[in-house]
Structures are given as structure tokens and as C-alpha cells.
């Protein structure tokens, strides 16, 4: 029952993520988010007592809850003294975001975590395939970024995020499955082809992060051979792009790539730097917010509004050092597992978590979205897996090698 509840909530948040498709239906999309949030929150509390043997998983959830309570206190304290900017709607949005960050706990309360993770990957990958082809259908390759961004093709493109999980999965766990490899190459190609069309520089950075984590995770072959094997995806992307340029007028791969790389040098597009966003917050909050956090419901005048574009800074901005240290702790465990483990599922989870933390160097990782839920699922699954092996291995020095 708990897994069905989780998946229903996930689909409701998927629906909310499409809110920009029809602004006139905004209230219905928000209603879907609120129902999904309530389902997740209730299920988290119901499942909390079921993990007596998985201390790491429970402790991470407990610390998230305590930090949420702390942020609510800081909000009340700062609001009393007129510090910063707050509103009830912002508090609600942030509280929903914190619930989504903790939502992965629900799926990992199952006894067979590996089976649940595989089912989850299949579900989000199926949605990604459908979303990718819908985005491709709407995409206007004869036009530039300005014509395509914040249109249906851009919104559906955002649901292609499982490309990274599937690419890691076929490289570490199911490297002999032709079906999974085909799916991985298809959704990755769609993600990058469309990403370049939208002028998203992040796609190049994300692929670099994925390649590095996979090279670390795969310990059975030479790194040079693995790098050449992974490089096939680049060949596929180039072929797909050049073929599309033959049939679609005015499509030029070189022009699109150049425009993507030089996006912020164009005076017609905001030259906003994401680090400046964080620095500008010092004009609205005292410097002590780095230690205490600015609280739930806090916002600023920059482009992000409710949250920072940089995920790591977002943790610091909302929850202060407490929140940042908690995530660094999980990051450390993920890196440790990635380098020391030989268990394929552990390596898959660790690589997914490490790459996720790498991605948020230039993305939010805060708002309620399918991406945030999936990142939460991977983190909780990894912690539960680590805790299970730790307790079952008498020699704690080698607990991560099983």
C-alpha cells in the first residue's frame, strides 16, 4: 500500500511540474501538488516506526525533520525582528520542498530495496521516454532558444532527467541488456539534442560528471577503454543532430552549440551570474544567516526569488550550517561507497547520489519536483543499503566491500 501511495503522490507532482503548459489551469496544478504533498507527509510519519534496524536511514530523516523545525523557528524569530522577507505562501512552498526532500524514505522501507529501486527506475524511465518524444514533436529546430524556451517542448524536456540514472544503471548493473542500453541512449540523446536547442550549458557539465562517476564505479576494466566505450554516446548525439539538420531547414549544430556556450555573453539575455545571487542576499539578510539559515519562507529579490539556483548554496541559505553539514555527511558516505564498494547496486546508488550532488553545483535541488523526489529516493536507498551491510558484517573495516 505504501508504494502505491508513493507512486500516486509522485504522479501528482509530475502533473504539477507541467504547470507552465497551461497557466490558466494553474490552480488545478497547484492542487495536485498539495494533494501529493499531503500523501507524502502522512506516509512518512506512518512509516517512520518501521525501520528499527536501519539507523542511518532513520537518522537522516530525523535530522531533516529537526532542521525543518529549526528553520520554522528561525523564520518566526527573524520575522519578529523584521529581518529578511517572508510570506505564508513561501513558508508553505518551502515546507512542501522539505517534505519532498524526505520523501525517498517511503520507498526504501521495503525489505527488498533493490527490487523497489528497479521498479522505480522503470516507471520514471517510461515517463521520460514519452516526455522526450512529446518534446521532440513540439521542438522548433529552425528557431533559436528564445522561441523554444518555456514552451511545451521545454516543459516536457525537463521530465527527461532519468537519463542519468539509466546511463549509470546500464554501465554498472545491467551492462549486458540491449533493451536498457537502447533506452539509455535514446533518452540521453533526446535530453542533449533538446538541451542544446534550449541553450542549456548544463548538459555538457552533467555529462562530464556522469562520465567521471561511472569511471570510478566500474573497477573491472581499464579506464581508457571505459572512456572510449562511453564516448559512443557522443557519436550517437552528433549523428542524430546532423541527420536532423538534413530534414529541418536552418538547423545548424555548430551554431546551436556556439550559442549555448556563449549564452550569457549576449546582451539580449540577462548576464546574471548565479554566484551573484547568493552575494546579493547579504543586502537583505544579516551575515549570521550563513550560520543559522534564513528559515522556511525566506526569499530574496534575485531571479531565484524563493530559492538559490545553486543547490549547495540553497542548503546554506535556507538551513544554515546545520543543513549544509547534513548533506555533506551524506555526500561523504556516497563518495566512500563509490570508491570502496564492489556491490553493483551500491555502486549504482552511490554514483547516482554523487552525480546528483555534482549537478546541484549549478541547479536548485530544492523545489518540489520529480527530480528532487528521485534524488531523495537514491539517497535514502543508499543509506539503507549501507546500514544493512554495516550491521551484517562483523569486520567493520570491510563493511562496504560486500
Question: Do residues 261 and 195 lie in contact, with contact meaning Cβ atoms separated by under 8 Å?
Answer: no
For the stretch 264-282, pLDDT in tens is 454 433 444 677 788 888 8
pLDDT exceeds cutoff 70 at 347? yes
pLDDT of residue 96: 94
* DSSP assignment letter at 24: G
The mean pLDDT of the chain is 82
Q: How confident is the model at residue 45 (pLDDT cuts 50, 70, 90)?
A: confident
Question: Do residues 43 and 2 lie in contact, with contact meaning Cβ atoms separated by under 8 Å?
Answer: yes
For the stretch 148-184, pLDDT in tens is 888 999 999 999 999 999 999 998 887 677 888 889 9
pLDDT of residue 23: 85
For residues 339 and 248, give the distance between their C-alpha atoms in angstroms, rounded to a whole number: 45
Mean pLDDT, range 312-331, rounded to an integer:
94
pLDDT of residue 55: 76
Question: Do residues 98 and 128 lie in contact, with contact meaning Cβ atoms separated by under 8 Å?
Answer: no
For the stretch 295-304, pLDDT in tens is 999 998 877 6
For residues 218 and 106, give the distance between their C-alpha atoms in angstroms, rounded to a whole number: 29
Question: Do residues 395 and 234 lie in contact, with contact meaning Cβ atoms separated by under 8 Å?
Answer: no
* Cell, residue 277: 545571487
Listed residue (319, 207, 204) closest to 262, CA to CA: 204
pTM of the shown model: 0.85
**CB count in 10 Å sphere of residue 246:** 7
Mean pLDDT, range 74-86, rounded to an integer:
92
For residues 119 and 52, give the distance between their C-alpha atoms in angstroms, rounded to a whole number: 24
pLDDT of residue 197: 85
For residues 24 and 21, give the distance between their C-alpha atoms in angstroms, rounded to a whole number: 9
For residues 140 and 189, give the distance between their C-alpha atoms in angstroms, rounded to a whole number: 17
pLDDT of residue 234: 58
For residues 232 and 46, give the distance between their C-alpha atoms in angstroms, rounded to a whole number: 46
Listed residue (162, 118, 126, 94) closest to 374, CA to CA: 162
For residues 172 and 175, give the distance between their C-alpha atoms in angstroms, rounded to a whole number: 6
For the stretch 185-224, pLDDT in tens is 899 989 988 988 888 878 888 988 998 898 888 875 555 4
pLDDT exceeds cutoff 90 at 40? yes
Question: Do residues 377 and 117 lie in contact, with contact meaning Cβ atoms separated by under 8 Å?
Answer: yes
Element (H, E) at 152: helix 152-157
For the stretch 107-155, pLDDT in tens is 887 778 888 899 999 999 999 999 999 999 998 877 777 788 889 999 9
pLDDT of residue 4: 83
Phi, psi at 284, each rounded to 5°: -115, -20
Torsion of CA 175, 176, 180, 186, to 10 degrees: 80
Question: Do residues 399 and 393 lie in contact, with contact meaning Cβ atoms separated by under 8 Å?
Answer: yes
Q: Which of 69-83, 84-98, 135-149 has the lowest mean pLDDT?
A: 135-149
For residues 150 and 132, give the distance between their C-alpha atoms in angstroms, rounded to a whole number: 15
Structure-model confidence comparison of residues 355 and 271, the more confident one: 355
Mean pLDDT, range 84-108, rounded to an integer:
92
pLDDT of residue 144: 74
For residues 334 and 121, give the distance between their C-alpha atoms in angstroms, rounded to a whole number: 19
For residues 186 and 228, give the distance between their C-alpha atoms in angstroms, rounded to a whole number: 19
Give, to the nearest 10 degrees, the angle between helix 113-138 and helix 163-172: 130
Question: Do residues 380 and 24 lie in contact, with contact meaning Cβ atoms separated by under 8 Å?
Answer: no
Which residue carries 502533473 as its cell? 15
Phi, psi at 303, each rounded to 5°: -55, -35
pLDDT of residue 402: 38
pLDDT of residue 125: 95
pLDDT exceeds cutoff 70 at 357? yes
pLDDT exceeds cutoff 90 at 381? yes
* Cell, residue 372: 528532487
Q: How confident is the model at residue 390 (pLDDT cuts 50, 70, 90)?
A: very low
Amino acid at each position: 500500500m505504501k508504494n502505491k501511495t508513493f507512486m500516486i503522490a509522485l504522479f501528482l507532482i509530475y502533473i504539477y511540474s507541467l504547470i507552465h503548459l497551461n497557466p490558466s489551469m494553474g490552480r488545478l496544478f497547484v492542487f495536485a501538488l498539495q494533494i501529493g504533498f499531503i500523501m507524502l507527509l502522512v506516509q512518512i510519519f506512518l512509516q517512520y516506526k518501521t525501520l528499527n534496524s536501519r539507523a542511518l536511514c532513520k537518522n537522516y530523516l530525523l535530522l531533516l525533520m529537526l532542521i525543518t523545525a529549526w528553520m520554522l523557528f528561525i523564520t518566526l524569530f527573524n520575522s519578529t525582528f523584521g529581518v529578511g522577507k517572508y510570506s505564508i505562501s513561501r513558508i508553505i512552498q518551502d515546507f512542501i520542498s522539505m517534505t519532498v526532500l524526505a520523501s525517498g524514505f517511503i520507498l526504501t522501507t521495503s525489505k527488498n530495496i533493490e527490487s523497489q529501486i528497479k521498479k522505480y527506475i522503470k516507471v520514471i524511465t517510461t515517463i521520460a521516454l514519452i516526455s522526450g518524444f512529446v518534446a521532440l514533436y513540439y521542438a522548433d529546430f529552425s528557431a533559436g532558444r528564445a522561441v523554444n524556451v518555456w514552451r511545451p517542448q521545454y516543459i516536457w524536456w525537463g521530465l527527461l532527467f532519468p537519463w542519468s540514472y539509466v546511463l549509470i544503471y546500464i554501465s554498472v548493473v545491467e551492462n549486458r541488456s540491449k533493451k536498457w542500453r537502447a533506452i539509455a541512449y535514446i533518452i540521453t540523446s533526446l535530453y542533449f539534442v533538446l538541451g542544446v536547442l534550449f541553450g542549456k550549458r548544463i548538459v555538457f557539465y552533467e555529462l562530464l560528471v556522469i562520465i567521471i562517476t561511472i569511471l570510478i564505479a566500474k573497477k573491472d576494466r581499464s579506464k581508457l577503454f571505459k572512456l572510449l566505450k562511453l564516448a559512443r554516446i557522443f557519436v550517437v548525439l552528433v549523428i542524430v543532430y546532423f541527420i536532423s539538420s538534413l530534414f529541418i531547414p536552418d538547423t545548424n549544430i555548430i551554431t546551436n552549440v556556439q550559442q549555448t556556450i556563449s549564452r550569457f555573453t549576449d546582451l539580449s539575455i540577462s548576464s546574471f551570474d548565479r554566484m551573484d545571487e547568493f552575494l546579493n542576499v547579504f543586502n537583505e539578510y544579516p551575515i549570521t544567516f550563513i550560520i543559522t539559515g534564513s528559515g522556511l519562507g525566506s526569499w530574496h529579490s534575485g531571479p531565484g526569488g524563493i530559492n538559490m539556483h545553486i543547490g549547495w548554496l540553497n542548503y546554506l541559505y535556507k538551513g544554515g550550517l546545520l543543513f549544509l553539514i547534513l548533506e555533506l555527511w551524506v555526500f561523504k558516505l556516497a563518495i566512500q561507497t563509490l570508491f570502496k564498494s564492489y556491490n553493483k547496486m551500491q555502486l549504482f546508488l552511490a554514483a547516482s547520489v554523487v552525480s546528483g550532488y555534482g549537478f546541484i553545483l549549478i541547479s536548485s535541488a530544492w523545489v518540489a519536483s520529480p527530480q528532487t523526489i528521485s534524488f531523495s529516493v537514491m539517497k535514502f536507498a543508499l543509506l539503507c543499503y549501507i546500514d544493512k551491510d554495516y550491521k551484517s558484517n562483523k569486520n567493520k573495516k570491510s563493511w562496504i566491500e560486500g
